[in-house]
Amino acid sequence: MKLFSTKQIAEVDRFTIENEPVTDIDLMERAAMQITTWIAQRFSEENKMVFFAGPGNNGGDALAVSRQLAERGYRGAVYLLDFGKPLKGSPAINWKRLEEQGKVELHRIQSIDDFPETNPSDILIDGLFGSGLSRPLEGLPAAIVRKINGLPNKVIAIDIPSGLMGEDNSGNIPENIVNAYFTLTLQFPKISFLFSENERYTGSWEVLPIGLDPEGIAQTPSKLFLVDKKEVTEMIPRRSRFAHKGTFGHALLIAGSYGKMGASVLASKACLRAGTGLLTSHVPRMGYSIIQTAVPEAMTSVDPHDSIFTEFPDLSPFTAVGIGPGIGVKSNTRKALHELLERVQVPMVFDADALNILSENKEWLKQLPENSILTPHPGEFRRLAGESANTWERIQQQRQMARELKVIIVLKGAFTTIAMPDGKLFFNATGNPGMATAGSGDTLTGIILGLLAQRLPPQHAAVMGVFLHGLAGDLAARKKSINALIASDITEFLGEAFLEMESVSAF
């Protein structure tokens, strides 16, 4: 699914109006009906609806929703932000319709003294400012927002919380942004909704379709995407009845050290469950019995060192190599990683301590094989790329680094971002907070390696691996709860994740 900037969304709106054709007021009515239906399904007529409307189209949406809810028997009051200028266009039409309907209290806010008294059970609807905002709120609008945020009432934001910008909020003023409980966004999520620091403003958000023209969407270019199930399903390799284990590749996983053999076990099991035909797990000598016992399906390559990784086996049998989980950062390990970079000729996955070693030897980054997959968490990425002020700035660093090094960077977290060498950026929508647990990243490394070993294009292995990892975590959380989730649960439910994808492809 394409993601667009707020300016691009406005262009798709215009394309729809011009080519459907549909008038602006009718498109507003269509959007308002989606919001009205959502509210009516969740709140009873006992709740009074208090609308705060601005003079623009976001306010016009709020006016239309207030009228539609009144037709359904809801009590409502509208407070219009009044700058002393007459309303124009569709907002003016909707104000007149409210006057003619006569079922909604109509008020104007010309100073903060006009702010209404509310009951705690009232539902506040924020329609002050939409996604076209380009500077922080000031003056009366900011004062209204602070008043709203000081109330105990639930707040529903129309399209975007007033004061929040659709992409970069670096220069914004946090206290002048509405803290919504729900955000009902129209047709597309705004890019800023996908950043952790903005959750306090958006609350729970939901995308409501308003029927924007598919051709307009298709014709509008974008390098930002939200990964969807259908797209990932098309990436899953189909297995021939006559295939054998050699058909599905041979993965080499270099993981584990003294006290951290669990990382090797977790990544090995996930790699096998992701479908690689063969797996060799390279471990220090003391880890031999552990990996042979815990993962009998894996072959074992034993390092000459008792407790750390110091050298790798002959690379000729392998179709992909993964390195990093639990290997430590000792000098012998650093040397072995550098030698591996000089000799490897197959796709690679780098995680955990491999990334920490690279961050201490940044000149080695230029030796990364093209289309290598790096899977840092935010701390590891910060060590690789430097500090950033917020998520927007961080993903710009991520995209630039992916382009310059010609690698794929998977930046882990809620809405994990996957940056491609060609500048494309994918946001992943699967996963849950229960996956913030020790070893979760090791399972992701194993899954991506297992897919890469099957000779999937690295871009597909990264996107598909992240999506399946999150989906397996979601399925596990349904059975075991978010609080009780552990990393091995993700691997346990990976098969169910594949089955769910197969059910999509069956139709």
pLDDT, one tens digit per residue, over 349-363 is 999 999 999 999 999
Q: Compute the average pLDDT of residues 385-414.
A: 97
Distance, in Å, from the CA atom of 365 to the CA atom of 353, rounded to the nearest integer, reads 14
Residues of the chain above pLDDT 90, percent: 97
Amino acid at 396: Q
Q: Compute the average pLDDT of residues 241-263.
A: 96
Average pLDDT value for the chain: 97
Instruction: Assess contact for 264 and 277: CB atoms under 8 A.
Output: no
Place of tokens 């945020």: 149
Q: pTM here? A: 0.95
pLDDT band with cut points at 50, 70 and 90 for residue 469: very high
Distance, in Å, from the CA atom of 158 to the CA atom of 484, rounded to the nearest integer, reads 35
The pLDDT, as a whole number, for residue 506 is: 47
* Residues 142-201 pLDDT 10s: 999 999 999 999 999 999 999 999 999 999 999 999 999 999 999 999 999 999 999 999
The pLDDT, as a whole number, for residue 238 is: 86
The pLDDT, as a whole number, for residue 505 is: 56
Cα angle 131, 136, 139; round to 5 = 115
Instruction: Assess contact for 395 and 426: CB atoms under 8 A.
Output: no
As a dihedral over the C-alpha atoms of residue 446, residue 452, residue 456, residue 457, rounded to 10 degrees, the angle is 120
Instruction: Assess contact for 487 and 325: CB atoms under 8 A.
Output: no
Residue 358 is classified by DSSP as H
The pLDDT, as a whole number, for residue 507 is: 44
Instruction: Assess contact for 371 and 421: CB atoms under 8 A.
Output: yes
Closest CA to 9 of 227, 230, 228, 222: 222
Q: Residue 445 CB: number of other CB atoms within 10 A?
A: 30
* Residues 318-351 pLDDT 10s: 999 999 999 999 999 999 999 999 999 999 999 9
The pLDDT, as a whole number, for residue 504 is: 64
Q: Kindly report the backbone phi and psi dihedral angles of residue 156, in degrees, each rounded to the nearest multiple of 5, phi listed first.
A: -110, 120
pLDDT band with cut points at 50, 70 and 90 for residue 457: very high
Q: Compute the average pLDDT of residues 232-246.
A: 91
Query: 146: burial class by Cβ within 10 Å (0-12, 13-18, 19+)?
Result: middle
pLDDT band with cut points at 50, 70 and 90 for residue 279: very high
Count of CA atoms in the C-beta half-sphere (13 A) of 398: 29
Amino acid at 448: I
pLDDT band with cut points at 50, 70 and 90 for residue 502: confident
At residue 368, the 3 state secondary structure works out as: coil
Instruction: Assess contact for 389 and 170: CB atoms under 8 A.
Output: yes
Instruction: Assess contact for 155 and 183: CB atoms under 8 A.
Output: no
Amino acid at 303: D
Place of tokens 């880890």: 287
* Residues 31-76 pLDDT 10s: 999 999 999 999 999 999 999 999 999 999 999 999 999 999 999 9
Q: Compute the average pLDDT of residues 439-454.
A: 98
C-alpha 254: how far from its chain's center?
29
Closest CA to 207 of 197, 194, 196: 194
pLDDT over 70 at 425, yes or no: yes
Cα angle 174, 225, 41; round to 5 = 65
Q: Residue 467 CB: number of other CB atoms within 10 A?
A: 27
